[in-house]
Amino acid sequence: MPIIEQKTVSAKNKAGGKGEIFITHLLTPKELIGKCGMFASVRIPSGSSIGVHKHSGSTETYHIISGTALYTDNDVTYTVKAGDTTFCADGDTHGIENIGDDDLIFIALIILTK
Protein backbone atom coordinates (compact mmCIF):
# COMPACT_ATOMS: atom_id res chain seq x y z
CA MET A 1 0.00 0.00 0.00
CA PRO A 2 1.61 3.29 -1.08
CA ILE A 3 1.99 6.20 1.29
CA ILE A 4 0.59 9.38 -0.27
CA GLU A 5 2.76 12.46 0.03
CA GLN A 6 0.83 15.15 1.86
CA LYS A 7 1.22 18.78 0.87
CA THR A 8 0.31 21.66 3.19
CA VAL A 9 -0.55 25.06 1.75
CA SER A 10 -1.56 28.25 3.50
CA ALA A 11 -4.17 30.76 2.44
CA LYS A 12 -4.77 34.25 3.77
CA ASN A 13 -8.29 35.68 3.93
CA LYS A 14 -9.75 32.52 2.33
CA ALA A 15 -13.10 33.33 0.68
CA GLY A 16 -13.02 36.75 2.35
CA GLY A 17 -12.33 35.28 5.78
CA LYS A 18 -9.98 36.51 8.50
CA GLY A 19 -6.34 35.58 9.01
CA GLU A 20 -4.47 32.59 7.65
CA ILE A 21 -5.54 28.95 7.36
CA PHE A 22 -3.54 25.81 6.58
CA ILE A 23 -4.77 23.04 4.28
CA THR A 24 -3.04 19.64 4.21
CA HIS A 25 -4.13 17.77 1.10
CA LEU A 26 -4.54 14.11 2.07
CA LEU A 27 -5.11 12.91 -1.50
CA THR A 28 -3.73 14.26 -4.76
CA PRO A 29 -5.80 14.86 -7.90
CA LYS A 30 -4.63 11.44 -9.11
CA GLU A 31 -6.32 9.68 -6.18
CA LEU A 32 -9.40 11.90 -6.39
CA ILE A 33 -9.91 10.62 -9.99
CA GLY A 34 -12.01 13.60 -11.03
CA LYS A 35 -14.82 12.77 -8.60
CA CYS A 36 -13.73 14.95 -5.70
CA GLY A 37 -12.29 18.43 -5.59
CA MET A 38 -10.51 17.98 -2.27
CA PHE A 39 -9.95 15.65 0.65
CA ALA A 40 -7.92 17.52 3.26
CA SER A 41 -7.20 18.31 6.87
CA VAL A 42 -7.75 22.00 7.60
CA ARG A 43 -6.23 23.92 10.51
CA ILE A 44 -7.66 27.33 11.39
CA PRO A 45 -5.86 29.24 14.17
CA SER A 46 -7.86 31.07 16.84
CA GLY A 47 -9.60 34.15 15.43
CA SER A 48 -9.18 33.10 11.79
CA SER A 49 -11.92 31.98 9.41
CA ILE A 50 -13.03 30.86 5.98
CA GLY A 51 -15.53 33.44 4.72
CA VAL A 52 -19.06 32.57 3.66
CA HIS A 53 -18.95 31.33 0.07
CA LYS A 54 -21.24 29.55 -2.39
CA HIS A 55 -20.72 26.06 -3.77
CA SER A 56 -21.55 25.67 -7.45
CA GLY A 57 -20.95 22.26 -8.98
CA SER A 58 -19.85 20.71 -5.69
CA THR A 59 -20.82 19.86 -2.13
CA GLU A 60 -18.59 20.21 0.92
CA THR A 61 -18.54 18.31 4.20
CA TYR A 62 -16.56 19.29 7.32
CA HIS A 63 -15.94 16.78 10.10
CA ILE A 64 -14.65 18.62 13.18
CA ILE A 65 -11.69 16.89 14.86
CA SER A 66 -10.90 19.49 17.53
CA GLY A 67 -11.75 23.03 18.51
CA THR A 68 -14.89 25.16 18.56
CA ALA A 69 -16.25 27.24 15.71
CA LEU A 70 -19.15 29.27 14.42
CA TYR A 71 -20.47 27.59 11.28
CA THR A 72 -22.66 29.53 8.87
CA ASP A 73 -25.10 27.42 6.84
CA ASN A 74 -26.78 29.76 4.35
CA ASP A 75 -28.27 32.39 6.71
CA VAL A 76 -28.10 30.37 9.94
CA THR A 77 -25.05 30.42 12.24
CA TYR A 78 -24.45 27.94 15.04
CA THR A 79 -21.63 26.51 17.15
CA VAL A 80 -19.83 23.30 16.11
CA LYS A 81 -17.31 21.27 18.09
CA ALA A 82 -15.30 18.04 17.94
CA GLY A 83 -17.41 15.18 16.58
CA ASP A 84 -19.82 17.39 14.61
CA THR A 85 -20.23 17.03 10.84
CA THR A 86 -21.58 19.74 8.54
CA PHE A 87 -22.78 19.53 4.95
CA CYS A 88 -23.05 22.28 2.33
CA ALA A 89 -25.19 21.23 -0.64
CA ASP A 90 -24.55 22.30 -4.22
CA GLY A 91 -25.91 25.84 -4.61
CA ASP A 92 -25.77 26.61 -0.87
CA THR A 93 -23.38 28.86 1.08
CA HIS A 94 -21.27 28.20 4.14
CA GLY A 95 -18.36 29.56 6.18
CA ILE A 96 -16.55 28.75 9.41
CA GLU A 97 -14.77 30.81 12.10
CA ASN A 98 -12.58 29.54 14.93
CA ILE A 99 -13.98 31.07 18.13
CA GLY A 100 -11.92 28.97 20.55
CA ASP A 101 -8.49 29.50 22.09
CA ASP A 102 -6.97 26.47 20.34
CA ASP A 103 -6.62 25.59 16.67
CA LEU A 104 -9.74 24.38 14.89
CA ILE A 105 -8.98 21.18 12.97
CA PHE A 106 -11.38 19.45 10.60
CA ILE A 107 -11.48 17.12 7.62
CA ALA A 108 -12.89 18.72 4.47
CA LEU A 109 -14.33 16.73 1.56
CA ILE A 110 -15.45 18.42 -1.65
CA ILE A 111 -17.49 16.15 -3.96
CA LEU A 112 -18.00 17.30 -7.53
CA THR A 113 -21.61 17.22 -8.71
CA LYS A 114 -21.06 18.16 -12.35
Q: What is the CATH number of the domain that holds 92?
A: 2.60.120.10
pTM of the predicted model, to two decimals?
0.95
Confirm whether 2 is domain-assigned.
Answer: no
Confirm whether 30 is domain-assigned.
Answer: yes
Confirm whether 1 is domain-assigned.
Answer: no
User: Domain containing 37: what range?
Assistant: 7-112
Q: Give the number of other CB atoms < 10 A from CB of residue 86.
A: 19
Q: How many domains does the structure of the chain reveal?
A: 1
Confirm whether 95 is domain-assigned.
Answer: yes
Q: Are strands 49-54 and 36-44 parallel, antiparallel or unpaired?
A: unpaired
Q: Give the number of other CB atoms < 10 A from CB of residue 30.
A: 8
pLDDT digits (tens, 9 = 90+) for 31-73: 999 999 999 999 999 999 999 999 999 999 999 999 999 999 9
- Residue 79, judged by CB atoms within 10 A of its CB (0-12, 13-18, 19+), counts as exposed
